[in-house]
């Protein structure tokens, strides 16, 4: 496994292989096999482009050669920052085949985040969209220490040739953590683990070659990429339709035009879809399954989703760190987040000392399993805190288990804000705002918001004249940070409330 990653202990790896979870297949090889089976069928749709399985497979081969000819080598990390386009899929498979490791940046990331991802991953290359929605990614990447920079206009393809097969037990790519600490960590996802996750999620959702999946969320999210997402659809010969935005305007007409059967959304978007479904002219009756996850939902709202969109609702709890739980029937979908997709997933609800709480009581969800990696990349000190000694990942989520073993998320210990579909680390926003001349102290918390779930509120103890919200937002914008992290509200206070241990009492602030 790539240096800097934590492999599963040998006895777990052996068990996962022996029990058939890890089947020794690389992502590139699985695409090859599906292309042989489903060659002329449509794999990807974007706008008026239609790409067959055979075309996608051959395209990935040409790109792999092109990247190799440009000097990208096996094991090198490559920051991939693209909007929802088919190129994302082809480029990732090209890098998988080459044995290079894509790092999935978000399209919303700016200089600060991309520089951090480059430094943390040691990435030598960057692939961006050029200019997209008025932002010049090329210009941004030029200021960062990459040896090679490409965009969608670059001449990337070469005459296909064979590369040595990627090792299925090696890292395939890196997902980003939601960011419980100051800046995102990198989650190494291995071929074996991700092939297993995507296949299993697809089988729980009963995906077949007749299914049409709509990637409405950003394709680089674990949800839309592999839960079961685009990959789970492709493994079964289905069609993956890529939307530019998750807006109902665009998505409803794609559902009608392409006969979409399955899609995935976060709660805030689901709310918009439910409202628009009431008066839309589009025929969305082909939709059979809507997965909703990524943040908590109000129980009264949950009930309205299935009837409004005339489809089955599946609640999903998921994290880029691994564990996925899905509801399996309409009753559970109303008030739980379901059960793990794999029989080998281990979930425990632990108290502060790490002991199991009695069934039904609330504690921290900790988990391990065949697609939950044992460490973040290159942060050994952080890993000691983020994982228990016996390899359980501490999710930072407060949860309970029902008598039937269903997971119910009750809250959060970690200092993370979930604003619509975006995860924001309080610490990261605090470290930016703390640099402002008018700020003596700052604590950033998520405050409840009916529509977004949470909004970002900055409590500021001022130094001299108190700064305004506009000033703080402009200040953070000037630091080239992704827009979604900018505070929505500011509250000026004289001093922070403290916990008995003398820490800022975030609960009280919230
Ligand atoms: P990410 O790795 O960005 O997908 O974020 C994972 C985190 O999102 C989890 O640890 C939870 O805090 C939150 N999350 C995901 N799904 C749900 C859900 N269904 N309900 C509540 N929180 C969720």
Helix (H) or strand (E) holding 151: strand 148-151
SS3 176: strand
Locate CATH 3.30.300.30 in the chain.
420-509
Radius of gyration over every alpha carbon of the chain, rounded to an integer in angstroms = 22
Alpha carbons within 13 angstroms on the beta-carbon side of residue 493 total: 16
**Integer CA distances (angstroms), 71 to 90, 137, 164, in order:** 18, 21, 16
| Range 444-466 average pLDDT | 96
Burial (CB < 10 A; 0-12, 13-18, 19+), residue 112, is middle
413 secondary structure, DSSP code: S
What was the pLDDT predicted at 347? 98
Q: Which two tokens stand for residue 429?
A: 């926003």
Residues carrying CATH 3.40.50.980, the chain:
27-41+50-166
Q: Is the pLDDT of residue 180 over 70?
A: no
Computed over every residue of the chain, the mean pLDDT equals: 96
pLDDT in tens, 201-216: 999 999 999 999 999 9
Choose one of 180, 317, 322, 398 to mutate for the ligand 1 pocket test, by most ligand atoms within 8 angstroms of C-beta.
Answer: 317
Kind and range of the H or E element at 271? helix 267-277
440 alpha carbon – ligand 1 mean position (Å): 32
| Per-residue confidence (pLDDT) for residue 179, from 0 to 100 | 62
Across the range 300-314, mean pLDDT stands at: 96
pLDDT digit string, tens, across residues 472-491: 999 999 999 999 999 999 99
- Write the residue with the smallest CA distance to atom 9 of ligand 1: 319
CB 240 within 8 A of CB 45: yes
CATH number corresponding to 420-509: 3.30.300.30
Unique residue bearing structure tokens 């792999």 = 64
Which residues are paired to 125 by β-bridges? 78, 148
Could you give the count of Cα atoms lying within 13 Å of 501 in the half-sphere of its Cβ? 4
Q: What is the pLDDT of residues 283-302, one digit of tens each?
A: 999 999 999 999 999 989 99
CA atoms of 246 and 257, how far apart (whole Å): 16
Contact 70, 60 (CB under 8 A): no
pLDDT band at 316 (very low <50, low <70, confident <90, very high): very high
d(CA 431, CA 418): 18
Would strands 322-326 and 339-340 be described as parallel, antiparallel, or unpaired? antiparallel
The whole-number pLDDT of residue 501 equals 87
- Give 232-265 pLDDT, tens digit per residue: 999 999 999 999 999 999 999 999 999 999 999 9
Domain 27-41+50-166 has CATH 3.20.20.60: no
Q: How far is CA 268 from CA 189, 294, 297, 305, in A?
A: 28, 10, 9, 12
**Does the pLDDT value for residue 181 go beyond 70?**
no
Q: What is the pLDDT of residues 88-102, one digit of tens each?
A: 999 999 999 999 999
3-state secondary structure of 131: strand
306, 289, 293, 285: which is closest to 224 by C-alpha?
293
* Binding-site residues, ligand 1, Cβ < 6 A: 178, 222, 293-296, 315-320, 337, 395, 397, 409, 412, 423
Where in 2-144 does DSSP place strands (E)?
42-46, 49-52, 77-80, 101-104, 125-128, 131-132, 135-136
Q: Please report the sign of the dihedral spanned by the C-alpha atoms of residue 488, residue 303, residue 408, residue 176.
A: negative
Q: What number of CA atoms fall less than 13 Å from residue 247's CA on the CB side?
A: 4
Q: Which of 165, 163, 160, 172 is nearest to 61 (CA)?
A: 160
Task: Tell me the pLDDT tens digit for each residue of 416-429.
Answer: 999 999 999 999 99
Measured from the Cα of 416, ligand 1's closest atom is 12
DSSP H or E run through 410: strand 407-412
pLDDT confidence tier of residue 178, bands split at 50, 70 and 90: confident
Distance 184 CA to ligand 1 centre (A): 15
Q: Cα–chain-centroid distance for residue 418?
A: 13
Contacts of 154 (CB under 8 A, 6+ apart): none
Tokens of 295: 């943040």
- Beta-carbon neighbour count of residue 264 at 10 Å? 28
Output the CA–CA distances (angstroms, integers) from residue 232 to 52, 94, 99, 190, in the order listed: 16, 18, 21, 16
Distance 423 CA to ligand 1 centre (A): 9
Lowest-pLDDT range of 97-106, 193-202, 328-337: 328-337
Q: What is the DSSP letter of 167?
A: P
Centroid of ligand 1 to alpha carbon of 300 (angstroms): 20
In the chain, pLDDT over 90 holds for what percent of residues? Answer: 95
Which among 295, 327, 416 is the best mutation to test ligand 1's pocket, defined by most ligand atoms within 8 Å of the CB? 295
> Which residues are CB-neighbours of 318 under 8 A, at least 6 positions away?
222, 223, 227, 293, 294, 324, 325
């Amino acid at each position: 496994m790539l240096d800097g990653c934590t492999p599963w202990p040998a006895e777990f790896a052996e068990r996962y292989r022996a029990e058939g979870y890890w089947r020794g297949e690389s992502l590139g090889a699985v695409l090859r096999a599906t292309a042989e089976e489903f060659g002329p069928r449509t794999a990807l749709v974007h706008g008026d482009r239609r790409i067959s399985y055979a075309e996608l497979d051959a395209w990935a081969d040409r790109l792999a050669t092109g990247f190799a000819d440009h000097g990208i080598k096996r094991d090198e990390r490559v920051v991939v920052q693209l909007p929802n386009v088919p190129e994302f899929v082809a480029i990732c498979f090209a890098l998988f085949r080459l044995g290079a490791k894509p790092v999935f940046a978000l399209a919303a990331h700016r200089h600060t985040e991309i520089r951090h991802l480059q430094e943390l991953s040691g990435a030598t290359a960057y692939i961006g969209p050029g200019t997209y929605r008025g932002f010049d990614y090329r210009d941004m990447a030029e200021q960062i220490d990459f040896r090679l920079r490409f965009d969608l206009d670059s001449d990337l393809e070469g005459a296909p040739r064979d590369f040595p097969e990627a090792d299925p037990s090696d890292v395939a790519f890196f997902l980003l953590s939601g960011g419980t600490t100051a800046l995102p960590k990198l989650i190494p996802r291995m071929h074996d683990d991700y092939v297993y996750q995507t296949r299993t999620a697809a089988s729980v959702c009963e995906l077949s070659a007749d299914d049409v999946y709509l990637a409405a969320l950003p394709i680089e999210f674990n949800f839309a990429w592999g839960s079961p997402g685009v990959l789970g659809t492709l493994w079964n010969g289905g069609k993956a339709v890529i939307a530019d935005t998750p807006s109902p305007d665009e998505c409803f007409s794609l559902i009608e035009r392409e006969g979409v059967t399955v899609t995935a959304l976060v709660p805030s978007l689901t709310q918009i879809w439910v409202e628009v479904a009431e008066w839309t002219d589009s025929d969305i009756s082909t939709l059979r399954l809507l997965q909703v996850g990524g943040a908590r939902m109000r129980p009264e709202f949950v009930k309205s989703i299935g009837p409004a969109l005339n489809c089955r609702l599946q609640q999903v709890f998921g994290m880029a760190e691994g564990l996925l739980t899905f509801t399996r029937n309409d009753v559970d979908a109303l008030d739980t987040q379901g059960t793990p997709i794999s029989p080998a997933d281990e979930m425990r609800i632990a108290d502060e000392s790490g002991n199991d709480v009695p069934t039904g009581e609330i504690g921290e969800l900790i988990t391990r399993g065949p697609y939950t990696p044992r460490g973040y990349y290159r942060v050994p000190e952080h890993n000691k805190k983020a994982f228990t000694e016996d390899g359980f990942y501490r999710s930072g989520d407060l949860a309970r288990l029902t008598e039937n073993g269903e997971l119910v998320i009750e809250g959060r210990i970690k200092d993370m804000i979930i604003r619509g579909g975006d995860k924001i680390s309080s610490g990261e926003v605090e470290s930016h705002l703390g640099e402002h001349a008018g700020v003596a102290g700052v604590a950033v918390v998520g405050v409840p918001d009916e529509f977004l779930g949470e909004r970002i509120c900055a409590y500021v103890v001022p130094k001299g004249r108190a700064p305004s919200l506009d000033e703080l937002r402009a200040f953070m914008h000037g630091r080239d940070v992704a827009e979604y992290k900018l505070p929505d509200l500011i509250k000026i206070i004289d001093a922070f409330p403290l916990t008995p241990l003398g820490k800022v009492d975030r609960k009280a602030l919230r």
